[in-house]
Structure 1
Amino acid sequence: MRVSSSSRPAPSGRAPAAEPVRGRRRLREFVELPYTLHGRDPCFVPPLRGDCRRLLDRRRNPFFAYGDVELFTVRRGGRVAGRVAAVDNPRHNDVHGARDGFFGQFACADDPSVARELLDAAGRWLRGRGLRTMLGPVNFTTNEECGVLVDGFGTPPSVMMPYNPAYYPGLLESCGLAKAKDLWAWEGGHGAPGERLARIARHAERSHQLTVRSLDPGDFHADMMRVKHVFDRAWQGNWGFTPMTDAEFTAVAGRLRAVMEPGLVQLAEVAGEPVAVALALPDLNQALPAARGRLTRFGLPIGLVRLSLAARRIDRVRGVLFGVVPHLSGRGIETALFARGQEAVRAAGYDGGMEHGWTLEDNSAVNRYLESAGCTHSKTYRIYGRDL
C-alpha cells in the first residue's frame, strides 16, 4: 500500500523531542494522555484503563507473538502533549506483499510541532526496520480500532469505534500525511424488515436450504470459531484485511463475551457449514462514561457498579460484522441474514438506533446494499499515509 505525498515536512535540523516510553511511570503517562486532553469533550467516551494497558502488554496481547511496537511521547512545558505507537506488522506485509509500517495510539494537543515530532519519530523507527510506507492510525491491526474521524462530529462513537476532536485531521495533514482510505459508518436498519426484504429472505432460505440461528451460549467457543471461518473468507482480499491468528480471535471473543447477547449474533449455515454471519453488540459506549475509565477504585468495584447500572439504559446497537462467503455472495443470503438480524434487534428491545460498520468507501456492493436497506452514511473515518 504505497502512499505518495508531495508535502513531507523538511527535517528541522534539531534533535527530535520525541522520547521512547520506558518504565512504568512513562507508560502510565502514555495511557493517561487521552483522558487529560479530551476528558471535557462531551463526545469523548473514556475507555477502561485496563483495556488500554492490555493492548500494550506484550504478555497479554497476542499481536506481540508476531508483531512489534515502539511507543513515543513528546513533552511541552514538562508535561506530555502527544503520544504515538510505531507498529511493525509482518503478517500484514506477508498477506499483502507490502512493506507497510503503521502508527497508532495517536493522541495529541492541537500543536502541529508536537504531531510532527511524534510522526517523524515513528517514521524513523519504521524506516529502520526496512519499511517503506507509514499508514494509520491503526491499533495495531485493522481488526482493532483504526482511523481518524473526519466527518460526523457531534455524537459520541459507538462501541469499539475511535473518537477524536475535529482538529486531528489538520494535524496529520500538516505532517505530510495524505488520505489512503476512508471507512464509512452507517446509521439505520433497525426497524422491521420491509415486505420486499422479507420475501427475498424467505426465498433465499428455501432455495439454499439455509438455516439462520443465534449463537449457542453452551457452545460458545465452537460457534465463535464458526464466526472466524466466515470472517476469514468473507473479508479475504479486502483492503488492509489480515486474518486474525487463533490466539487473537480467542482473545477478542473473550472480551466480547462479557457484553455480547447471543440473540444478536446470527449464523447462517448450509448443510451445517457456516456461510454467513451478522454480529451486533449493545452499544456499551452509552454506559462507559459512568465508569470514568476504571472498574475498581481503592480496591472497590465502584466503576463496575456504575457501569452495570448505566448499562440498563443502553438502547442502541452496533453491527460489527456482516458478511457472506464469496461463492454465495449476491444470492439473497445477505438479505436473509439482515432480516433476521433486524428481528433479533427488535426482539431484544433496542429501539434507539443502530450503527453499521465500518465499510470501505469503495466497497460498492455492501454500501449499495446498506442504502437499499434504508441506512444512511453517518460518519467517515480516514486512514492516512505517507512514504518513508
Structure 2
Amino acid sequence: MSSDTQARTRPSLAGPISVRPLETAADRKAFLDIPYTAYGHLADWRAPLRFEREAQINPAKNPALARMEHVLMVARRGSDVVGRIAAFINPAHLETHKDATGHFGFLDTVAPDDDVIGALMQAAEDWLRSRGMKRIAGPFNFSVNEECGLLVDGFDSPPVMMMPHGRPDYAPALEARQYAKAMDMYAYMCQLGEPYRVPEKIRKLKEAFDQDPGLEVRMMNPQDYKGEIDLILGIFDDAWSRNWGFVPFGKDEITHMANELKPLIRRDGLWIGLIDGEPACFTLVLPNLNEATEGLDGRLLPFGWVQLVRRLKLQGTRTARLPLAGMRQKFHKTRRGMLTMVASCEAAFAAQHARGVREVEASWILETNRDLHNLVSIYDAPRYKTYRIYGKAL
C-alpha cells in the first residue's frame, strides 16, 4: 500500500466529531465493522462471528433487545467513522432494581482518542437523561446476562467466547469523565493438567459426596434439551436473584439462548446436581468458540464454516469456558450443597479433559462472590482478567 493510500484510509485525528444514530444500512455496517477495524491488528483479539454480531443488534432476532428502548450511534470525524456506542433502557433492570439507571454498551473507537470517547459518552448520557434516567452504567451488550464489563486488566491474552476485549485507554478516559467503579468481575483460568489431576481438597470433598446416598450428579438429557435449559436457568435465576446487577431471564430469552447455544452444548458439558432427588445446582462448560474461529476474521463464507466444523467436531478445542453455574439459595451455606456443587464442577472438568480440553476459564465472577472465589481457589486457578462496570450520576 502506498503512503498516499495509507493517508487516505487512516482516520484523521483533527476536526470536529459528530455522533449520530444509525439511519442507513451503511451506518449499520459501519457500526458492526468498527471492532474489526479497531482491534484486528492486535495479536490477542479474537474476531467474533459477524453474523452473530449482526443478530445481536437486531430486535427481530434478539428478544431481550426487542423490549428495550435503545439507540445505536456512530461517531465520525469528517467522513471517517471513528467510534460507536449504544444507549438503552432495560425495563427488566428497572423493574428489579428501581434505580432509574440506563445503560451504555458497545463502546469502541478505532484508535486511542479521548475526544472520541468523550463525544460518545456525552451522546449516550444526553439520550438517557432526556428519557428521565438519573444514572448511567456500563458497558453492557445489552444486559448483565450478555457480554458486559470493560477489560481493565489482562490485555496480554485473548478473550474466550462471549467475553469482551478492548484497549487500556478506555478506563482512564471514562474516569476522566467522572465515571467510577460500580463492580469488578473476575476471570480465572483453571489448568486441568496432563494427565488430569484432581486437587487433594476436591478429592476429599468428592469422597464425602460419594458417601451420601442422597446426593448425585447427572449429565444433561439431550432428549429433553429445552426442558434442561429451562431447569438450569430457573436454578440460575434463584441462585443469583440477590446478587449485584441481577436481571432475570425472560421466557423468550431462554428460548433464544437455548437455540443459540444448542450447537455448543454437549451432553457431558452440562452437569446437574441433585439433593434427595431435587435439582439443586448445575455446572455448564462450553468449548471456546473463539479458539475454533481464530483466523476466520468472523466470516464463515465461503469456506470458514468448513474450518469451524472441523475444529469443533473433529479436532475439538484445547480451551473451554464455564459461563454459567449456580445453586438454589435454600442449599447455600450447607455442606450437602457445597459437596454437590463441587461434584458437578468436577464431573464437568473431568469430562472436558477427556475431550482434550486443558484449560477452562471460569468467568465472570463478581468480586463480592466469596463462595465462588473459594471454590475456584481450590483448583489453584489464577485470576488473570478483570472486567469493570462503571457508573455515573446524570
Specify if TM > 0.5: yes
Measured in 2, the distance between the counterparts of 1:322 and 1:360 equals 13
- Tell me the secondary structure at the aligned position of residue 18 of structure 2: coil
**Which residue of 259, 273, 276 maps to 2:264?**
259
In the TM superposition, what is the alpha-carbon distance from 1:128 to its structure 2 partner?
1.3
**Which residue does 1:166 correspond to in 2?**
168
Letter in 1 for 2:96: V
| TM-superposed deviation, 1:22 | 0.9
Aligned position for 1:92: 93
CA distance in 2, matches of 1:102, 1:214: 37
Does structure 2 conserve the Cα–Cα contact (< 8 Å) formed by 1:198 and 1:339?
no
Structure 1: which 5+ residue stretches go unaligned? 1-14
Report the equivalent of 2:348: 341
Contact 1:185 1:379 in 2 (8 A): yes
Equivalent of 1:154, from 145, 153, 156? 156
Q: Which amino acid aligns with 1:71?
A: L
Match of 2:127 among 121, 125, 128: 125
SS at match of 1:380: strand
Cα distance in 1 between the residues matched to 2:68 and 2:116: 26
Structure-2 residue corresponding to 1:238: 243
Cα distance change of structure 1 residues 22 and 387 upon mapping to structure 2, 3 Å threshold? same
Indicate if the aligned counterparts of 2:199 and 2:378 stay in contact, CA closer than 8 A: no
Q: Give CA deviations for 1:250-302 in whole Å, capped at 9, x if unaligned.
A: 11121111122220111112344321010011111112123221222xxx4x1
Please point out which of 212, 215, 218 is paired with 1:207.
212
**Is contact 1:192-1:343 (8 Å) kept?**
no
Structure 2 residue 142 is the aligned partner of structure 1 residue 140: yes
Equivalent residues in 2 for 1:181-192 (5 A)? 181-188=183-190, 190=192, 191-192=196-197
SS at match of 1:207: coil
SS at match of 1:156: coil
For 1:318, the equivalent position in structure 2 comes to 321
After TM superposition, give the deviation of residue 364 of structure 1 in Å. 1.6
Distance in 1 of aligned mates of 2:316 and 2:204: 34
Query: What is the identity, as a one-letter code, of the residue corresponding to 1:145?
Result: E
Deviation at 1:206, TM superposition (A): 4.3
Quote the Cα distance in structure 2 between the aligned partners of 1:219 and 1:122. 43
d(CA) in 2 for partners of 1:16, 1:123:
16
Letter paired with 1:35: Y
Instruction: Summarize deviations over 1:110-159 as a string: whole Å, max 9, x none.
Output: 11111111111111111111111111110110110011111111110011
What do the CA deviations read for 1:328-379 (whole angstroms, capped 9, x no partner)? 123222222222222222222212x111011011212221221123222111
Describe the SS at the equivalent of 2:248.
coil
TM-score, structure 1 length as denominator?
0.91
Q: Percent identity?
A: 33
* Separation of aligned partners in 2, 1:36 and 1:161: 18
2:308 partner amino acid: L
**Paired letter, 1:341:** A
User: Which stretch shows the higher mean deviation, 192-201 or 368-377?
Assistant: 192-201
Residues of 1 paired with 2:350 and 2:38: CA distance? 41
When the two chains are superposed, the root-mean-square deviation of aligned CA atoms in Å is: 1.7
Unaligned ranges ≥5, structure 2: 1-15
* Residue in structure 2 matched with residue 370 of structure 1 by the alignment: 376
